[in-house]
Structure 1
Amino acid sequence: MQLTAVSRRELFAIGLILLTAVTLRLYRLSSLPGGLNGDEVFNAIDALRVGTEHWPVFFEGNNGREALFLYLAAASLRLLGQTVFALRLPAALLGTGSVWLAWRLGRSLFNRRVGLLSAALIAVSLWPVMESRWALRAVSLTFMTALTVYLLDQGFRRKSGWYWLAGGVAMGLTLYTYIPSRLLPAVILVWIGWLFWTRREETRSQWRQMAVAFITALIVFLPFAWYIWQFPDKVNQRANSMTVALDLATKQGDWGALAASVWGVIRMFSLRGDVDWRYHVSGMPVFDPLTSLFFYIGVALCLWLAFSRKGGRDRPSYALLLLWAGAMLVPNAILEANSSFLRAAGAIVPIYLITAVGFDGAATWLHGRFPKIVTDKVVTAVVLSGLLLTLAVTCHRYVNIWHNQADVRRIYQADLAEIGRFLNQNPPPQGTRVYLADSYVVDIAPRTFAYFSNYPVDWFSINDSFALGNGREPLWVFVGVNETLPPEFASKLGLAEGTVYPFANGDPAFTLYQINPEEAVWPPQQPMDLDFADNPRLIGYDLAPELYRGETIPLFLHWQIPPERTHLPNQIVFAKAQLVDGVGNVWSEVESLLGYPQESWRTDDRFVQMLSLEMPDAMPPGEAHLRVSLRDFAGQPIGMAGENESAGFVVRSRPLTDFTLTPEMPLFDDTLALRDTIFSSQLMPGLDIDIGLDWVAVQRPSIDYKVQFQLWYAGEEAPFLTQTAAIWPDVYPPTQWQAGEAVRSLHRLIIPADMPLGEKPELRLQLLDPATGTAVPLTQGDNKLADMTLVTRDYSYEVPPISQPQNAQFGDSIRLLGYDLADDTVQPGETLRLTLYWQALETPPGHYTVFNHIAALDGRIVAQLDGLPGGTLTGTWLPGEIIVDEREILLGADVGDGRYALRVGLYDAGMGERLPVIMDDQAQINDQLVLTEIEIEP
C-alpha cells in the first residue's frame, strides 16, 4: 500500500490507544502480580551482575536465557534502583512499543483501519497485556520481531538503504531475545522470495540493500553464534529438557502426540488456551467468540489474497502475516499439547494484524452493500463497544480472577510480598527476632523478599526445620499461606494457633507466631556432641527408645551455632542420619538439606531438624545406633570431631499380617520362605558379590540354619565355588524368629580373582542343618537364585616399552613400573596425557583409586584427576598382571605459567586412606610419588 500522511484524527486515536496501553501496563506494576516468580528473580540476579567485565551474550543459569532483555533490565535497575517496578519496567515499555509498531505496520502493509484496530486490540487484550507485566524475555521477542519486520518493510517501500541497515541490526538483535526468534530469518527470506515472485523488478533493484541487511544481522549475531558453536548444549538446555512431540512422532512413531500439539495451537484461539496459571487465565483462549470470527476471516483472506492476483501488490504482505505468525507458533506445535502463550509471544503482533485484516475485510464487504453513512456508524459502534468490552474483561480477569488465584499467588510468592508489606507498616517491638519460614531459604525466597521490604529478617526451611533463636529474644515467626508448619513442631513447642493475616480480598496470606523466649525451649532427649567444621554443632537428638520395624519414625536433631561461625555466606549443606546395627550394617538412612542458612546464624542460635527414619521390615531385632554426618553440595563429607555413635536403641519386630506364600516362592524345610533377593547378577573374577536374602518364617524355626551359596557352570557335576555362612549368629539367629516374621540376612560371596572360567554360570542356594552339615529339604520352588553373567577382561603379563621406567611399590601388592608423558610442556586449558604402567605383585585386598595432582611448588593443587587404574578394579588383578593406565588431566584456563610437580598415588575411596609408597627403599612423603616436573607456558 502507498504510504500516506498521518491525519490529526489518526494521531489522536493512536495517542489514546497508546495512553490506554501504557496505563494498563504500568498500573500497579509492582503489586500485580502480587510478588515475583522464580524466573523473574533469576533474571534480576543475572541483570545485577552485568557490568564490571561481565558482559555475557548468553546467561547459562535457570536452563539458559538469551541476553537482550536482561541487559535492558540491568539498565533499568541501575537507573531506578532495585525495585519490582524497575525490574518490570522494560517489559511494560516493550509491550507498549509493540502497540505502536502494530499501528505502523498495519497502516503500512494495509491501511489506517488495520493499523489502528490491531494496535487497539493489542493495547487492551489480556494476552499482550499480561506478557507486558512480567520481567521475562518473551516480551522482547514480541517487540523485536515487529521492529525487524517494520524496518525491513520500510526499507523495501522507501527503497532506503538506511532502513534495510537498521532492519538488519534489529534482526540480529532479535536472535538475542527468545528461542523462537531463530525462525525469524527464515520468515524474512521467504517474504523476500514472495516479493520477488510478485514484484520482481522492485525486489531485484534492491538486492544489494537486502544483502547488507542480512550481512549486518550476521555481524550483530556473530558473538552469540560463536557462543552457540562452542556450547550448543548450554544454549539448547531448555529445549532439551522438554518433551518434544515431533521427536516422539519421528523417532518413536507416536504421531498422536504431534497431532495433539498441533491441535493445541489450533484451538488456542477460540476454544481452549494455555492451561498453566503461571502466564494466563487457565484455559482461556486468545479471543472471545466474535473476535475469533474476525480472526478466522482474516486467516482466510490472507491465504486467498497471498496467492490470488486479487491481492495485487499487497500479496507479500498477506503472506508475511501468515509466515510470521506460523513461524512463531511452530515451537508450540512441535513441543506439547498445551499451547504456551508465553512461548507464542512472538506471534502476538501478526495474530492481531490478521484479526484486523479480517475485520477490515468484513467492513469493506458491508460498505459495498449498504450506504456508507450506515456502515460507518455500525463499524464504529462495533469497534468501540467491542474494545471497551475487551478492556473491561481484561481488567476483571487480570485483577479479580488471575491475580487472586491460589496457584498464581504460590507461583509469584505473593505471601512473601505480603509479609514484607506487613513488616514495613507494622515493625515488631525493638529486640524482637524475626524469622520467615519458607521452602527456598538459601537463595530465591530471601532475594524475592528483599524487593518488598528492607526489614532485617532471618530464615529457616519450614519443611523440616524450626529455628529457636538464642533463647534471649522474643521471636516473630512468619509462615506464608503456601507453606505448612509441620504439626510435630507445633506440638513439641506447645505453640498456640498463630494470627492469620489476609490478602486485600480477604483470603489468608500468612500466619504470624509470636513466641516469648521462655516458650522457645526444646531440650534434646538424648545428648550427642558432634562438632562439624564451619557448621553447626550437634548437641543431641530425639528418638523413641524402641523402634518397630516397618514403621516411619520421626527423628529430631538439635543443632547449635558456635560463637565463631556466625553470618557465614550461604552454602548448601545436607545432613544425613544412618541407623546401624551392632556389627555396622546400615539399615536405614535419610538425608535432608540443613534448613538454617548460614547468613541467619548468630551465636548460640539453636534449631531443630526433623527427619523421617524408615525402619525396614527385614532388619533384625536387637540393638541399633544412630550416626550423623554432613556433606556439601558436591557430596564431599564435612570434617567433624566427636564420637559419632548414639546410645543404643532397641529394634523390635511385628509379625507380617499380609504375607501370602506363593507357589513359586522357595520354601525350605516347611519353615523359611525366601520372599526376595537383592544382588548383582554379574560375575567377575575378583569382585565379591553382596547378597541380601529376605526371609519369612512360615513357622518358628527350631534350628539355626546356615546358608550355602553354590556357583555352577552348565553341564558340570559339581559347583566350582561353595561358600557357607550362618544367619545373624550372635545377633538374631533363626531360632529367635517368630512365626510370620520377616528378616533380611546379609552375606558376601567371596569371588577369587583366579576363579575357573566356564559357560552359563548360575547361583544356587541351600539351607544347611548345622548339626549335620547336610541340606534341609526344599519344600517348594527352585533353589536357583539367578543365571549369572560372566564378565571377564583380557590379561597381560608382558611388560611393554616404557619411556620413563620406575620401581615404586604401593602398599604390599602393587608396583608402578613407570610412565609415559606425551609432552612435559603444556598450556592453560590444554590436556596433559599420561600413561602409567602398574603391576600386581599379588591380588590386592581391596579396590583402590589412582589420583594425579599437578601442584605448584608451594603445594597448591591446580589440576587433579581421580579414577580407576585402567578402568579396572584392583581387587580383580591377578599376580604378575600388567595394567596400562591411560590418563588425561585437564588444566584450567586460569592456571599460571611456571614449573609444576606431577604426582601420583593410590587410595581407598571408602576409607579415604592412601597406600604407603616406597621408592628406592625410601618412604615417600604424604604417601604420594612425584613422577616429574612439567612446564606450563602462557
Structure 2
Amino acid sequence: DALRVGAEHWPIFFEGNNGREALFLYLTAASLRLLGQTVFALRLPAALLGTGSVWLAWRIGRANFNRRAGLLAAALIAVSLWPVMESRWALRAVSLTFMAALTVYLLDQAFRRQSAWRWLAGGVALGLTLYTYIPARLMPLVILAWMGWLFWTRREAAKRQWRQMAAALLTALLVFLPFAWYMWQFPDKVNQRANSMTVALDLAVKQGDWGALAASVWGVLRMFSFWGDVDWRYHVSGTPVFDPLTSLFFYIGAALCLWLAFSRKDGGEQRPSYALLLLWAGAMLVPNAILEANSSFLRAAGAIVPIYLITAVGFDGVAAWLQNRFPKIVTDKVATAVVLIGLLLTLTATYHRYVNVWRNQADVRRIYQADLTEIGRFLNQNPPPEGTRVYLADSYVVDIAPRTFAYASDFPVDWFSINDSFALGNGREPLWVIVGVNETLPPEFAQKLGLTRGTVYPFANGDPAFTLYQINPEKAVWPPQQPMNVDFAANPRLIGLDLPAELYRGETIPLFLHWQIPPDRTHLSNQIVFAKVQVVDGVGNVWSEVESLLGYPQESWRADDRFAQMLPLEIPDAMPPGEAYLRVSLRDFAGKPVAMTGENQSEAFVVRSRPLTDFTLTPEMPLFDDTLALRDTIFSSQLMPGLDIDIGLDWVAVQRPSIEYKVQFQLWYAGEDAPFLTQTAAIWPDVYPPTQWQTGEAVRSLHRLIVPADMPLGEKPELRIQLLDSATGTAVPLTQGDNKLADMTLATRDHSYEIPPISQPLDAQFGDAIQLLGYDLDVGDAQPGGALRLTLYWQALATPPGHYTVFTHVAAADGRIVAQLDGPPGGTLTGTWLPGEVIVDEREILLGADVEDGRYALRVGLYDAGTGERLPVTLGGEAQANDQLVLTEIEIGP
C-alpha cells in the first residue's frame, strides 16, 4: 500500500487487510520514497514516532507536574518492553501513541501560554490523530472532557480562551472532514475490522452474557502487574506492563490522580492535569475493556504515554512524601539510586525478553517468517551453482512471492505452495528446493521424488531453520501414468494424472495432476486459480469433487516448467462399483470457468467395493425379500405440483441378491384406497444391478420422482416404497419394518388465468411452452444510481419441461451489459405452471452509479440455469437473434 501512494493514488483510507487508517502509511510511503525500499526505511517512521513519544512524555510531565515526573516517564517509556516493541512493529498503532501525546502537549501548552497558534496546531494534531488507529476515535471525547474540567476548575482562564478552544475544535473537524465523509459513505469498509471481532459489550447487552464483559474488564485491570497480552505477535506472551515494584508506583499514581483531580489544594489549578491523565488512559483502554478477555497491547498503544506519566506521578508523590519526613539530601540520593537501578533492571529485562525470549520463540518465528530471513542470509552467503533452479516452498506463496523475501542476489528465486504442489523445473536444470521450518513436505511428494533426507540448517541459537533438498534434473520430473492434453487459456496445460492402481469406495486417495507451462505464458502477474476434479460415473452422475489452489504462482513461470498438484480425492462409499472417470476444470477467484481446449475427462478406471464390517440390521430398518435393507434415505419431504423430487436410497445387501429388483415409489393421500401417483425405476441397470452386489455391500441408488404440475390435490400425502421382481413385475415381501418413507408436506400456490391490462402487448414465444404477452416499464428513475421497474406478463402454453430463469439485460450499443437481473419469473418455478396460467413478473433492475448517460437496449430471455442454454425466441413468428428479445430502447440520464 505504501509503495502505491502517489501518481494520482492518494487514498483517505486503505481498504485492504480489513482496513487501515492512512497517516502511518503515508509516513511509510515518504520514508520509502526518500531512502529507498529497504527494511530500515520501512521501520524508520515507527522508530521516530516512538522516540518522539519519549520526548513528549518528558515535555508533558515537566509542564504539568515537575521535572522529575517528566524525566522518569520519558525514561520508563525509553526502556520498557511495551513501548520499545511498539516502536519496532512498524504498525500504525505507534502513530496513535505519538499523535495523541502531541495533541495533548500542544493543547495544554496553548492553554497555559494563551497561544492562539498552539490552539490551532493542537486542533490540526487532534484531527490528524483520527487518521491513526481505531481507538483514536475516542480522543475527541478526552479533549472535550479535559476542556470541561478546565471550565470547572479554571473558570476564568477558560472563559478568556473559549474562542480559541472553539477554533481548535473547528480546525480538528476540518482536518477530519475528508475521513468523516469517507466514513459516512463507506461505513462497512471503515468498520470491517471492528465488525469482525466479538464484542463482549454486545454479548452483555444483547444476550445477557455479563461474564464476557467482566472478563474483558478484568483483563484490563490485571494487565499492569499480573498478566499481559498473550499474543506472541505483538508481545512476550503474558508479560504484564510493569514489574511488581513499578506497578506499585502506578497504582499509587492512579490513586493520587483520582484524588487530586477533585482536590481544591493550591486552588485546584493542577486538577485538570491529573484528570487528563485518567481520561486519556481510560479512553485508550476502553476498546480492550469491551472487546475480549485478552487485553491487546497493540489496541492499547494510545495509553502508553498517560500510563507511564501516571507511574511517574506515583513515584514523585512517594518521593515528596519521604522528603517531608527525612533529610532531603538522603531522600534525593535514595530516590536517584532507586530510579537508576530500576531503569537498569528494566532495560536488562527488556533486552532479555525481546532479544533472547521473543526473537527465538517458535510462534514468533512462524508469524514473522524468520525462516525466510535465514534462507535469504544463507543464499547470500552460499550462492547456488550456476544453472541451478532455486525454489522456496511456502504455504502462502500467492500472497508473499516474491515481495517479502530479503534476498540481495540477482539470481532468481521461484516459489511454490508446499501444501499441495511441487515445482519440478523444466527437466534440464538441477534444483535446490528449500523448505522452511514452519512447513512440512508431504510424504507423497517425498516418495515420488525419492527425497529421503535433506540438509538441515539452523538459526543462530541452533534451532532448525530450514531444510535444503538438492535434486538432479533426471529425478525432478516423473512421467504421468495417464497422459492428457488439455490447454487452459492463460493457464498451465494439463499433461496427465496419476491414480493408485486400485480404487475402493469409501477411501480418500492422493490424485496427482501434472501441469506444464506453455512458452507463451511467462511474465504473467500472480492470480488465484483453482483446479477442480470431479468423480463421474458412467452415466454422468457426479459423486464427489475436490478443489485446490494452483500452487505455482504465475510470477515464477518459465517456458516448459512442470509442476505436480496433489488433491485428496474421495471415492464415496455409496457410489456404485464399476467404471468411473475424472473430469478436470479450472476456475478463477470469482468462480468463472477458464476456457479450455482438449478432452478434460480421464480414461475410465474401475471403482471396487469392500463389504461393510460394522453393519447392524436394526428392527426398524426396512428389509425386503430377506435380502436388501434400506439403511437410509435422502430427499426433500416437500411435495409441490410440478417440482420433481430427487431421492437417494442407501441399500445394504444382507445376502447376495439372486434377482434383479426395481424400485416402485407411490404417493398416497390419507384414507385413499390407491396411490394417486406410481413410478417404477430400475436400480443401476447396465451399471451395477443388484445381482452383482456382494453380501454386506452398501450401494446408493439415485432416482427422480416426476411430479406432474396437474397432480390431484388431497390431504396428508405420504411417500411409500416397494421392491419389485423385474422379471414378473410383482412386489417382493417386506420382511421387516415399514415401507412408508415419509409424511410429505403439500405445498401449493394460487394459479391465475386472467390476463391483466398490459401497456405494451407482445406476441413473443420462448421455446414451445412459454409466451410473453407483454410488459410494463417505468423509467422515471432511469439515471445512474437509479433503477428500472419492469413488469413482464408470461403465459404457459403448456407445462414447461423444466425450470427456467429469466434474464433482463440493459445493454450498450457495443453489446456491453451495464445492468442485469436474473431470476425465476414471478418467483415461481416454470415447471409448476399449468396450461393457460398467467404469471406477473415484477422486476427492479438497479443501475450502477458508474453507468454512463445514453441510449441502451432492454433485453429479455429465458435459460436453463444448469446448462446455461437459452430457449429460442420468436416474435410474430420470426426468430430473434441470440435467443433474446429486445423489448425497447431506453434513455439513461438525469
TM category (shorter chain) comes to over 0.9
Of stretches 373-382 and 414-423 in structure 1, the one that deviates more from structure 2 is 414-423
| Superposed displacement of residue 681, structure 1 | 3.1
> What pairs with 1:270-281 in structure 2 (closer than 5 Å)?
270-281=225-236
Question: What's the offset of the Cα at 1:344?
Answer: 0.9
Is contact 2:577-2:609 (8 Å) kept? Answer: yes
1:170 aligns with 2:170: no
Any conservation in 2 of the 1:82–1:451 contact (CA below 8 Å)?
no
What one-letter code is carried by the residue in structure 2 that aligns with 1:152? L
CA drift at 1:660: 3.2
Q: Is the 8 A contact 2:401 2:415 kept in 1?
A: no
> Could you tell me which residue of structure 2 aligns to residue 545 of structure 1?
501
Letter in 2 for 1:69: F
Residue deviations 1:567-602 (CA, integer Å, cap 9, x gap): 222211110111111111111211100111222222
Query: Does 2:135 align with 1:187?
Result: no
| Candidates 568, 571, 586, aligned match of 1:612 | 568
Tell me, in whole angstroms, the C-alpha distance in 1 between the residues paired with 2:638 and 2:406: 55
Whether 1:415 aligns to 2:371 is yes
Match of 1:91 in 2: 46
- How many Å separate the matches in 1 of 2:616 and 2:149? 74
| 1:386 equivalenced with 2:342 (yes/no) | yes
Measure how far apart 1:899 and its partner are.
2.8
Farther-moved stretch of structure 1 (148-157 vs 125-134): 148-157
Judged with a 3 Å threshold, the aligned counterparts in structure 2 of structure 1 residues 381 and 494 are, in CA distance, closer, same or farther, namely same
The one-character-per-residue Cα deviations of 1:542-569 (angstroms, maximum 9, x if unpaired) are 0023211111111001111222222222
Structure 2 residue corresponding to 1:907, chosen from 855, 863, 867: 863
The match for 1:43 is none
Superposed CA RMSD in Å reads 2.1
Distance 1:153 1:468, change over 3 A: same
Output one character per residue of 1:211-252: Cα deviation in whole Å (capped at 9) or x when no partner. 112211111111111111111111111111111111111111
Offset at residue 288 of structure 1 (A): 1.0
Give deviations 1:276-335, integer Å, cap 9, x for gaps: 111111111111111111111112222222233348322222222122111111111111
Instruction: Report whether the alignment pairs 1:198 with 2:153.
Output: yes
Which residue pairs with 2:93 in the alignment? 138
Distance 1:717 1:516, change over 3 A: same
SS at match of 2:354: helix
Change (3 A) 1:800 1:61: farther
1:601 aligns with 2:557: yes
Q: How does 1:380-459 map to 2 (within 5 A)?
A: 380-449=336-405, 455-459=411-415
Gaps of 5+ in 2: none
Change (3 A) 1:452 1:70: farther
Q: Which amino acid aligns with 1:56?
A: P
Asked if 1 retains the 8 angstrom alpha-carbon contact of 2:89 and 2:234, the reply is no
Partner of 1:262: 217
User: 1:6-40 deviations in whole A, cap 9, x for unaligned?
Assistant: xxxxxxxxxxxxxxxxxxxxxxxxxxxxxxxxxxx
| 2:281 aligned partner | 325
742-751 or 384-393, larger mean C-alpha shift? 742-751
Offset, 1:488 = 1.0
- Alignment pair present for 1:356 and 2:343: no
Q: Which residue of 2 aligns with 1:491?
A: 447
Shift of residue 402, structure 1, vs aligned partner: 0.6
> CA–CA distance in 2 between the matches of 1:788 and 1:353?
72
The 8 Å contact of residues 813 and 842 in structure 1, kept in 2 or not, is answered as yes
Q: Which moved more, 1:166-175 or 1:197-206?
A: 197-206
Given the alignment, which residue of 177, 180, 197 partners 1:225? Answer: 180
- Listed as ranges, the gaps of 5+ residues in structure 1 are 1-45
The 1:105–1:457 alpha-carbon spacing in structure 2 relative to 1, beyond 3 Å, is same
Q: Secondary structure at the match of 2:3?
A: helix
Q: Which moved more, 1:253-262 or 1:776-785?
A: 776-785
Instruction: Find 1:125's aligned residue among 66, 77, 80.
Output: 80
Q: Deviations over 1:145-165 (max 9, x none)?
A: 111111221222222222222
Instruction: For residue 575 of structure 2, give the secondary structure of its aligned residue in structure 1.
Output: coil
The answer as to whether partners of 2:721 and 2:741 remain within 8 angstroms in 1 is yes
**1:471 aligned to 424, 427, 451, which one?**
427
Deviations along 1:69-113, one digit per CA (max 9) or x if unpaired, are: 111111111111112221121111111111111111111221111
**Does the 8 A contact of 2:622 with 2:736 survive in 1?**
yes
- Tell me the secondary structure at the aligned position of residue 448 of structure 1: coil
Say which SS state the counterpart of residue 188 (structure 1) adopts.
Answer: helix
Conserved 8 A contact 1:686-1:754:
yes
* Aligned residue number for residue 820 of structure 1: 776
1:636-674 Cα distance to aligned partner (Å, 9 max, x none): 111222223212111111122223334444444444333
Counterpart of 2:18 (choices 63, 76, 81) is 63
CA distance in 1, matches of 2:320, 2:621: 82
Deviation at 1:454, TM superposition (A): 5.3
- Does structure 2 retain, via aligned residues, the 8 Å contact 1:257–1:336? yes
Letter of the aligned partner of 2:257 in structure 1? C
Q: CA deviation at 1:714?
A: 4.8
Contact 1:140 1:177 survives alignment (8 Å): yes
> How far did residue 716 of structure 1 move?
4.8
Residue 457 (structure 2) pairs with residue 501 (structure 1): yes
Alpha-carbon distance between aligned partners in 1 of 2:172 and 2:744, rounded to the nearest angstrom:
61
* CA–CA distance in structure 2, aligned partners of residues 272 and 876 of structure 1: 65
Cα gap change, 1:680/1:166 in structure 2, threshold over 3 Å: closer, same or farther? farther
**Aligned partners of 2:377 and 2:407 also within 8 Å:** no
- Counterpart contact for 1:306–1:318, Cα < 8 Å: yes
SS in 2 for 1:442: helix
Match 1:251 to one of 188, 206, 215: 206
Query: Aligned pair 1:212/2:162, yes or no?
Result: no
Contact 2:230 2:294 in 1 (8 A): yes
2:759 maps to 1:803: yes
Q: List aligned pairs for 1:357-756, cutoff 5 A.
A: 357-449=313-405, 455-714=411-670, 716=672, 718-756=674-712
SS across alignment from 1:443 = helix
1:32 maps to none
Query: Of residues 57, 77, 80 in structure 1, which corresponds to 2:35?
Result: 80
Tell me, yes or no, if the aligned pair for 1:545 and 1:649 is still in contact at 8 Å: no
The residue type equivalent to 1:599 in the other structure is: E
From the superposition, tell whether residues 708 and 255 of structure 1 become closer, same or farther in structure 2 (CA, over 3 Å). Answer: farther
- Displacement of 1:473 after TM fit? 1.8
In the alignment, is the contact (CA less than 8 A) between 1:545 and 1:650 conserved in 2? no
Other structure's SS at 1:428 match: coil
Contact 1:825/1:935 (8 A) holds in 2 = no
Could you state the TM-score of these two structures normalised by the residue count of structure 2?
0.96
Residue 455 of structure 1, CA deviation: 4.0
Aligned-partner Cα distance in 1 for 2:3–2:539: 54
> Residues 726 and 149 of structure 1: is their aligned pair in 2 closer, same or farther, counting only changes over 3 Å?
same
Contact 1:842–1:879, Cα closer than 8 Å, also in 2:
yes
CA contact (8 A) 1:824 1:934 kept: no
Contact 2:13 2:19 in 1 (8 A): yes
- Aligned pair in 2 of structure 1 residues 758, 319: CA closer, same or farther (>3 Å)? farther
Pairing 1:764–2:720 present: yes
Q: Pick from 299, 320, 335 the counterpart of residue 343 of structure 1.
A: 299
Closer/same/farther in 2, CA of residues 517 and 367 from structure 1, 3 Å limit:
same
Matched, 1:296 2:251: yes
Name the structure 2 match of 1:869: 825
Note closer, same or farther for the CA distance 1:624–1:47 as it changes in structure 2 (3 Å cut).
same
Identity of aligned residues (%): 87
1:363 and 1:379 in contact (8 A); partners too: yes
- Secondary structure, aligned partner of 1:190: helix
Shift in Å at residue 451 of structure 1? 7.3
Alpha-carbon distance in 2 for matches of 1:799, 1:230: 45
Quote the offset at 1:769 in angstroms. 4.2
Q: Quick one: structure 1 residues 775 and 923, their matched pair in 2 at CA, closer, same or farther if it must change by over 3 Å? A: same
Kept in 2, the 8 Å contact 1:423–1:455? The answer is no
Note closer, same or farther for the CA distance 1:348–1:662 as it changes in structure 2 (3 Å cut): farther
Letter in 1 for 2:193: R
The one-letter code matched in structure 2 to 1:582 is G
SS at 2:664 equivalent = strand
Deviation (angstroms), 1:780? 4.6
